[in-house]
């Protein structure tokens, strides 16, 4: 059993500056805010640059990271999602009607142990995380040999399968964290 089997995995992303600074600075501050949601010390990946995926044309590049949290026992997935949305708003996230629009802060609950949920506002595990190198590369830094819920491959194997051929950053991460 891995310590990540009980962790809430949160993907962080930003591609717009805000009142707290650059996307990199925003993510660092968001990590501090996320840390307050964890009973035990959280784990954070490095920051990774990435190209926009499924975003409007001309969207700026992203900075991404992953956090592993061990939330308080009384917290539910829906309550954790509400906290993530509150942190996004605190960092200037404007949830407009444009899908995948540029944003100051994007915090996605990817999975939380073996919990599963399917509602209009929350799907656990996240339905597309295993195809997204911008989630898998930072996650591979923290837990390369972990098999996430609903998957049969380790994070590093999922990353190797998801790596866009045009991205040297992801190819480097896939090679670095392959086990």
* Alpha carbon distance 20, 9 (integer Å): 24
Select which of 43, 93, 94, 97 is catalytic: 93
Select which of 106, 115, 128, 132 is catalytic: 106
> Which residues are CB-contacts of 170 (< 8 A; sequence separation ≥ 6)?
50, 133, 137, 159, 162, 163, 164
First to last CA, the chain: 17
Beta-bridge partner residues of 64: 13, 48
Select which of 108, 115, 128, 132 is catalytic: 108
| Beta carbons of 155 and 144 less than 8 angstroms apart | yes
108 assigned to active site = yes
CA angle in degrees (0–180, nearest 5) for 97-100-101 = 70
* Alpha carbon distance 104, 14 (integer Å): 5
Instruction: Describe the crossing of helices 155-162 and 133-142 by its angle, rounded to 10 degrees.
Output: 150
Phi/psi for 18 (5° steps) reads -145, -170
106 assigned to active site = yes
Catalytic residues: 93, 103, 106, 108
């Amino acid at each position: 059993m891995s310590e990540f089997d009980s962790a809430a995995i949160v993907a962080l992303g930003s591609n717009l500056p805000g009142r707290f600074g650059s996307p990199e600075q925003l993510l660092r501050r968001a990590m501090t805010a996320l840390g307050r949601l964890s009973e035990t010390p959280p784990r954070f990946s490095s920051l990774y640059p990435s190209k926009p995926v499924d975003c409007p044309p001309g969207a700026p590049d992203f900075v991404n990271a992953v956090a592993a949290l061990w939330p308080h026992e009384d917290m539910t997935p829906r309550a954790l999602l509400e906290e993530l949305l509150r942190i996004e708003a605190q960092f200037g996230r404007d949830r407009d009607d444009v899908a995948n629009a540029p944003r100051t802060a994007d915090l996605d609950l990817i999975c939380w142990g073996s919990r599963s949920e399917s509602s209009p506002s929350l799907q656990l595990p996240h339905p597309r995380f295993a195809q997204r190198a911008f989630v898998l590369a930072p996650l591979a830094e923290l837990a390369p040999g972990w098999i996430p819920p609903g998957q049969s491959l380790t994070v590093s194997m999922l990353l190797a399968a998801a790596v866009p051929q045009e991205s040297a950053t992801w190819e480097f991460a896939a090679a670095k964290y392959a086990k």
